[in-house]
Structure 1
Amino acid sequence: MTNLAFALAATIKHDGHGGVADLLSTPEQASAWLAAQSADLGRFLPPSRAENLPNPDEMLRELVRMRRAVRALFARAVAPGAPSKADADQLMGVDEALTVVNAAAARLGTAELVWDEEPSSRWAYATEDPVNLLGGAVGRSVIEFMVGPDRQRLRACPAARCVKYFLQDDPRQTWCSPTCGNRERVNRHYRKRTGG
């Protein structure tokens, strides 16, 4: 299962033609993305909300706002390495991103201990508003990712036109995919041959 925050950051990618593709540019795309993330959303949201998130326009605005915060924190997490090229010049500040994430996570509520037959915990939701719940789910996911073991594996792909963050599976892995690695090797060979 992919971390919700990581999946949200990956909604910006290279378009294959030197530009950037935004996979959350319409409410329909946001709805499709949310449907694809239903399993991870279900970890954070009440069951009735995880399956039925209304008002796609508000959801899109909240997802884009949270994505800006996630990508800013990812850029900070890969430092001193360079951030993803997609938005390196327009990232929100780390302090602002932390404020956005923490405020969103707080909307979800807190964990509380309950004791039926055995002790267990459950979320005590602070709101029923679906936009606040969505932001809270992403916020909690960001916190979970940033304090978890995967943060140490987070990298920004250094390929010339790539805009992705990826999780390094092997210490020798430099690029997010073999395609980026091949493109960089071809570029390096071309520069050697042409002297440029």
Structure 2
Amino acid sequence: AQRAAPSVRELAWDGSTVTAEPSRSGPPGVILAAIFAEAVTDLLTASDMGKVRECEAADCVMLFQPAHPRRRWCSPTRCGNRARVARYYQRHKPPVG
């Protein structure tokens, strides 16, 4: 995917300085796939790759890099909240019968 839309650095002049900005050419879908492929490459070769975890929510397939070592869910507001609500319900559900 990266080869289909390689990143090149284009020089730009803003009137006072020269900058080098990454640029890709091609159809939008090919460019998007190349950007994702580059991000995956960066993730897999990062020094902290060993910190990547799988979300502990039963119905989630997301991976994440925790900012805190005790983090368990990809999103505290989505998966974490669901898990907390389920635990609360289990502790406080009315007796059957």
Provide the TM-score with structure 2 as the length reference. Answer: 0.54
> Unaligned stretches of 5+ in structure 1?
1-103, 191-196
Q: Does the 8 A contact of 1:111 with 1:121 survive in 2?
A: no
Structure 1 residue 163 corresponds to structure 2 residue 85 = no
Specify the alignment match of 1:133 in structure 2. Answer: 31
Alpha carbons of structure 1 residues 184 and 175: separation in structure 2 relative to 1, 3 Å = farther
- Give the alignment of 1:46-85 within 5 angstroms: none
Q: CA deviation at 1:167?
A: 2.8
Q: CA deviation at 1:174?
A: 2.1
Please point out which of 75, 84, 88 is paired with 1:182. Answer: 84
More strand by share: 2
Q: Which amino acid aligns with 2:5?
A: L
Q: CA deviation at 1:183?
A: 4.8
Q: CA deviation at 1:165?
A: 2.6
- Give the distance between the partners of 1:147 and 1:119, measured in 2 at CA: 30
Calculate the aligned-residue CA RMSD, in Å.
3.8
Match of 1:162, SS state, is coil
- Give the distance between the partners of 1:132 and 1:169, measured in 2 at CA: 32
More helix by share: 1
Structure 1 residue 106 corresponds to structure 2 residue 8 = no
Q: Does the 8 A contact of 2:10 with 2:23 survive in 1?
A: no
- Percent of aligned positions with the same letter in both sequences? 20
> Unaligned stretches of 5+ in structure 2?
93-97
Q: Does the 8 A contact of 1:155 with 1:165 survive in 2?
A: yes
Q: Which amino acid aligns with 1:140?
A: E
- Give the distance between the partners of 2:50 and 2:19, measured in 1 at CA: 30
User: Size of the alignment, in residue pairs?
Assistant: 86
Alpha carbons of structure 1 residues 148 and 138: separation in structure 2 relative to 1, 3 Å = same
Alpha carbons of structure 1 residues 161 and 134: separation in structure 2 relative to 1, 3 Å = closer
Match of 1:182, SS state, is helix
Q: CA deviation at 1:171?
A: 0.9
Specify the alignment match of 2:95 in structure 1. Answer: none
